[in-house]
Amino acid sequence: MIGCYDFCGHYDWTFDWLERAGGPGLVREYWEQAINQDSQRHARDLIQREGFAGMAKYWGHTLVEESPELGFAITEGKDVFRIDMHDCPSKGFLIRNDLASYQDYCDHCMGWIGPMMREAGFAIDHEHNHQGQCWWEIRPAGSPVEPSATGGLAGRHDVRLRPSWQAPGTALDRYRQAVDPDDKQG
Amino acid sequence: MSTPAKSALPYLDTKPQGSADFYYAVNATFRFLLRRLGEAEWRRYLEELGRGYYAPVNTAWAQGGLPAVARYWRDFFAAEPGAVVEVSECPDRVELEVRECPAIKHLRAGGREIVPQYCQHCYFCGAARAEAAGLTFRLEGGNGRCRHTYATPAAGLAPQDLAQIKEAGV
Higher pLDDT, A67 or A143: A143
Q: What is the DSSP string of A94-135?
A: HHHTT---SS-TTHHHHHHHHHHHHHHTEEEEEEE-SSS-EE
Residues of A with CB under 8 A from a CB of B: 1-7, 9-11, 13-14, 17, 21-22, 26, 29-30, 33-35, 38-40, 42, 62, 65-66, 68-69, 89, 92-93, 96-97, 99, 101
The minimum CA-CA distance between B14 and chain A, rounded to whole Å, is 8
Q: Do A5 and B28 touch (CB under 8 A)?
A: no
Instruction: Per-residue pLDDT tens, chain B, 170 aa: give them.
Output: 444 458 999 999 999 999 999 999 999 999 999 999 999 999 999 999 999 999 999 999 999 999 999 999 999 999 999 999 999 999 999 999 999 999 999 999 999 999 999 999 999 999 999 999 999 999 999 999 999 999 999 999 999 999 999 999 87
Fold observed for domain B22-164: Muramoyl-pentapeptide Carboxypeptidase; domain 2 (3.30.1380)
Burial of B140 (0-12, 13-18, 19+ CB in 10 A): middle
**Quick one: pLDDT at residue B6?**
85
Mutate to test the interface with A, among B13, B113, B150 (most CBs of A within 10 A): B13
Instruction: Please state, in angstroms and rounded to a whole number, the distance separating the CA atoms of residues A131 and A134.
Output: 9
Residues of chain A contacting residue B97, judged by C-beta atoms under 8 Å apart? none
Measured between CA atoms, the residue of chain A closest to residue B83 is A3
Task: Judge whether A81 lies within some domain.
Answer: yes
Distance of CA B37 to the CA centre of its chain: 22
Q: Which DSSP letter does residue B3 get? A: S
Q: What's the complex ipTM?
A: 0.95
Measured between CA atoms, the residue of chain B closest to residue A41 is B24
Task: Judge whether A2 lies within some domain.
Answer: no
Q: Report the mean per-residue pLDDT for chain A.
A: 95
Nearest CB partner across the interface for A33, out of B23, B32, B52: B32
pLDDT, one tens digit per residue, over A74-129 is 999 999 999 999 999 999 999 999 999 999 999 999 999 999 999 999 999 999 99
Domain count for chain A: 1
Instruction: Please state, in angstroms and rounded to a whole number, the distance separating the CA atoms of residues A146 and B112.
Output: 39
Task: Judge whether A42 lies within some domain.
Answer: yes
Task: Give me the domain span that covers residue A156.
Answer: 7-183
Task: Judge whether A77 lies within some domain.
Answer: yes
Task: Judge whether A1 lies within some domain.
Answer: no
Task: Judge whether A14 lies within some domain.
Answer: yes
Q: Do B12 and A7 touch (CB under 8 A)?
A: no
Q: What is the domain partition of chain B in residue ranges?
A: 22-164
Residues of chain B contacting residue A95, judged by C-beta atoms under 8 Å apart? none
The minimum CA-CA distance between B168 and chain A, rounded to whole Å, is 14
CATH number for A64: 3.30.1380
**Quick one: pLDDT at residue B5?**
55
Residues of chain B contacting residue A58, judged by C-beta atoms under 8 Å apart? none
